[in-house]
Amino acid sequence: MEPIKIDGGFGEGGGQIIRSAITLSAITGKPVEIENIRKNRKVPGLRPQHLLGIKILSKICQARVEGLYVNSTLLKFFPSQGLDLDLQEDIGTAGSIPLVLQVLIPAVSLMKNKLRLSIVGGTDVPWSPTSDYTKHVFYEALSRIGINFTLDIKRRGYYPKGGGLVEVQIQPCKNANPVSLLERNTKTVKILCAHSHIPKEMVEKEIHVARNILVENGFDCEIAIKEEDAIDAGCSMLIFSHDASSIIGSDGIYQKGLQGLGESVAKRFIESSLGVDLYLSDMLVVPLALVKETSVYRVKQITKHLETNLFVAAKMTGCKYGIGKLDDGFEVRISGVSDT
């Protein structure tokens, strides 16, 4: 079978297009060729953080891979039959564990395989969802689709040294279901905060700021703060809520001082008043492209990541999608092509 060709420079032109194309290739069994990888970036080609997720997935689906090396601008992925595996992996330094899991969880589950994975790297790092977002927001969304996993954060890993440890178990998907996520109705939210080598009073001050903003906007808050061991100093904050018609998360990490973390995370949460937050809107595309019925969700903005994932999913699966403008945001509809 000739590989489906994907232009890696489309849309945001970064790692997202690689992750989505490889994930869908593994699930569908269709080979893919990605060219012009990150061609518009300061340093074009594959970076070290892109390699491990593809390497692990290639083990699981016994894929033949060409061009899997740092700085490569052309990648070919030829998947075969999936295996149930028990793996131990190390990303090295503070490479993002959540971004690796974004590839592995839907791929393994929709391939009807099992995976036990112990992985070392960055749990809460720049340009990535936090591990708590993965555990509480990504999990909630995927579980409603029928994709189930457990995630245990054994040790935090912050930038630059990483060293975090996460254990994951992924189960085969029995039935893939559509979702409808239109508007947040709940006024109950949870604030989770993990920190290491940062004074507790500084962390509590940011939590206090976040809570006050939420309370002023009519929310009831449940708060959990944990001091957890890590090599580097770091702090991770997540504000999230679930109800029948919404799954919303807003997260942030310590970068050059905590000041402003609580305010920024709380304000982003409040702004996400529809069915999903901006980040979840693009994460949903890959699994929903393989659910035969039509899913619908609403989001405040259409991001480059969302546009990119819709483009890749349509090219890889033939799924149909549409975006409609609302008074206060946008509605996304995705009709998948196969009932997994």
Tell me the pLDDT tens digit for each residue of 207-252: 999 999 999 999 999 999 999 999 999 999 999 999 999 999 999 9
pLDDT the model gives residue 43: 85
% of the chain residues with pLDDT over 70: 99
Q: What is the pLDDT of residue 39?
A: 83
- Residue 180, pLDDT score: 98
Each as own residue / partner, the long-range contacts of residues 212-220 (CB below 8 Å, 24 or more positions apart, any chain) are: 213/262, 213/263, 213/266, 213/267, 213/270, 214/189, 214/239, 214/266, 214/269, 214/270, 217/270, 218/187, 219/187, 219/188, 219/189, 220/187, 220/188, 220/189
Q: What are phi and psi of 315, to 5 degrees?
A: -70, -40
- Report the phi/psi class of residue 71: left, alpha or beta, with left for phi > 0 and alpha for psi in -120 to 50: left
Checking if the pLDDT of 70 tops 60, the result is yes
CA angle centred on 153, ends 148 and 155, rounded to 5°: 160
Percentage of the chain surpassing pLDDT 90? Answer: 89
Domain ranges of the chain: 1-79, 181-271, 277-340
Q: Mind listing the pLDDT tens digit for each residue in 246-275?
A: 999 999 998 777 789 999 999 999 999 999
> Residue for token digits 């749990």?
123
| Token pair of 279 as six digits | 């980040």
Q: Tell me the pLDDT of the chain averaged across its residues.
A: 95
Q: What is the pLDDT of residue 47?
A: 84
**Of 4, 70, 54, 6, nearest in space to 34 by CA:** 6
Nearest Cα neighbor of 301 from 322, 270, 335, 332 is 332
The angle, 0 to 180 degrees and rounded to 10, between the axes of the packed helices 48-60 and 15-28 is 0
Above 50 in pLDDT, residue 27?
yes
CB contact set of 308 (below 8 Å; sequence gap of 6+): 10, 11, 12, 13, 16, 17, 20, 282
Say how many CA atoms lie within 13 Å of 66 toward its Cβ: 9
Sheet of 234-243, strand order: 220-227, 188-196, 234-243, 246-253
pLDDT at position 93 is 83
Q: Specify whether the CB–CB gap between 313 and 286 falls below 8 A.
A: yes
Give per-residue pLDDT as tens, 126-155.
999 999 999 999 999 999 999 999 999 999
Burial of 133 (0-12, 13-18, 19+ CB in 10 A): buried
The whole-number pLDDT of residue 339 equals: 47
> Do 64 and 36 form a contact (C-beta atoms < 8 A)?
no
Class of domain 181-271: alpha beta
**Is 340 a residue whose pLDDT tops 70?**
no
Residue 26 has pLDDT above 80, yes or no: yes
Is 208 annotated as catalytic?
no
Q: Which residues pair with 88 in a beta bridge?
A: 118
* Spatial distance between the Cα atoms of 204 and 225, rounded to a whole number of angstroms: 8
Rg (CA), the chain: 19
Residue 276 has pLDDT above 80, yes or no: yes
If one compares 269 and 51, the residue with the highest pLDDT of the two is 269
* Three-state helix/strand/coil letters over 151-188: EEEEECCECCCECEEEEEEECCCCCCCCCEECECCCCE
Comparison of pLDDT for 43 and 29, the residue scoring more: 29
User: Catalytic: which of 50, 195, 242, 305?
Assistant: 305
Reported as a pLDDT band with limits 50, 70 and 90, residue 10 is confident
Query: Using an 8 Å Cβ cutoff, are 143 and 135 in contact?
Result: no
| DSSP annotation of 2 | P
Query: Which amino acid makes up residue 144?
Result: R
Q: Which residues contact 143 (CB under 8 A, 6 or more apart)?
A: none
How far apart (Å, rounded) are the C-alpha atoms in residues 91 and 103? 14
Mean pLDDT of 157-169: 96
Greater model confidence, 193 or 340: 193
Q: How far is CA 81 from the centre of its chain?
A: 25
83: number of Cβ within 10 Å: 14
Single pTM value for the model:
0.96
CA distance 206 to 220: 17
Extract the tokens encoding 255. Answer: 């970068």
What does the pLDDT read at residue 259? 81
